[in-house]
Amino acid sequence: MKKMKLLLPALAVAFAVPAFAQNSVTLYGVIDEGIDYTNNAGGHAAYDLQSGYVQGSRWGLKGTEDLGGGLKAVFQLENGFNLSNGNLGQGQRMFGRQAYVGLSSDKFGTVTLGRQYDSLVDYLAQTTANGNWAGYLFSHPYDNDNTDNSFRVDNTVKYASPTYAGLQFGGTYSFSNATNFAANRQYSFGGQYANGGLLVAAAYLQANNPGAGTGGAISSTGDSNFPAALLRIFGAGVNYTFGPATLGFSYTNSYMKQPTGTEYLGGTILPAVGALSNLRFQNFELNGKYQISPALFLGAMYDYTRANFNATTGKLSPVYHTVGLMADYNLSKRTDVYVQGAYQHVAGDKTGTALDNANVLGANNTSSNGNQLVARVAIRHKF
């Protein structure tokens, strides 16, 4: 009888485990901290302790609940922070990186609602170095195509399809939450195809009046990369992995109608020669990564960016050359150290604005001329 009394509770627990295993909540995070050197920050060299370059420092909660019939409830709350000073990131938001809830079906896909990534980030960014393995320093000028997550989209409904024979697609729509339906709204769509070592992706985004206040799709608080009357971005990219090597190419085209500035320059970019009617960046990137051993990889990137600066008095075309190199060594499955550097040279026409000076994202400040070098040594830990 004593044995039976012990056996029955054990059996009950054993049969209960599969039911509980269908539901989960996971706490996770990334801590990325390092020392940066900028050779020209407003005319002077600078050394900084900076957080979250290859991956933004973060912690988060994500979970699922099995509702039966292949349907699940899903959620994710992700906080970004600055490890150097403990401040919140993304405009001092508690969950500034992501905050959403939704339903996921094995057969029909996933619908989520909240603050989320757009389709450029979900699909296209992974074909770039900065959106895949290198991070912030390797971004295209001013992250004009958002492949490094300069902004998230608020008030967003997102759909992501299941994967059909290697093909997945999806899209977002972000409400303005205003009586003017089109004021500060956003929509995007994209897709990818993966087969063996081949990955092909493309995406499109349009935002009306991004950065017009704090209540719309792209907020003026910590999000508005280029406040403008209209923002339109599209692009495509391909990665191919063979053995230990991966090669990638991407093209993106970013158009801003009547832009008033960019957060990376801390002020307006209106030209001295006349009012700026529109600004366009075309980015051509070639990148490569080689896995020397399971613990060590080397990576390189070159980006050619041609800008079209259209003012009322004429059209100008600055050109940006950006080169990046990186080495990463895993001390364990959760901890790695890395060294990386990025150099930018600005050529072509002079606009008479801060756009004429080099500005590697992550630098201490804009260069005093058309050249800038930034180097970083850092440690990253995942949990």
Tokens of 128: 């770039």
Distance between CA atoms of residues 359 and 361, nearest Å: 6
Q: What DSSP state is assigned to residue 163? A: P
Closest residue by Cα to residue 374 from 43, 42, 45, 31: 45
Predicted confidence at residue 62, as pLDDT, reads 98
Integer CA distances (angstroms), 246 to 111, 165, 294, in order: 32, 22, 14
Q: 10-residue block means of pLDDT along the chain (383 residues)?
A: 44 42 89 98 97 97 97 98 96 96 97 98 98 97 96 97 97 95 93 97 97 90 88 98 98 95 76 77 98 98 97 89 98 98 97 93 96 98 98
Query: pLDDT tens for residues 13-48?
Result: 444 444 444 799 999 999 999 999 999 999 999 999
- Angle (CA) 312 316 319, round 5°: 150
Q: How is residue 23 annotated by DSSP?
A: -
- Side chain identity at residue 45, one-letter code: A
Length of the chain: 383
**What are 250-267's pLDDT values in tens digits?**
999 999 999 988 888 876
Confidence (pTM): 0.91
Q: How far is CA 273 from CA 309, 315, 353, in A?
A: 11, 11, 9
Is residue 206 within 8 A of residue 232, CB to CB? The reply is yes
The amino acid at residue 130 is N
Query: CATH assignment of 23-382, given 2.40.160.10, 3.30.420.480, 3.40.190.10, 2.70.98.40?
Result: 2.40.160.10
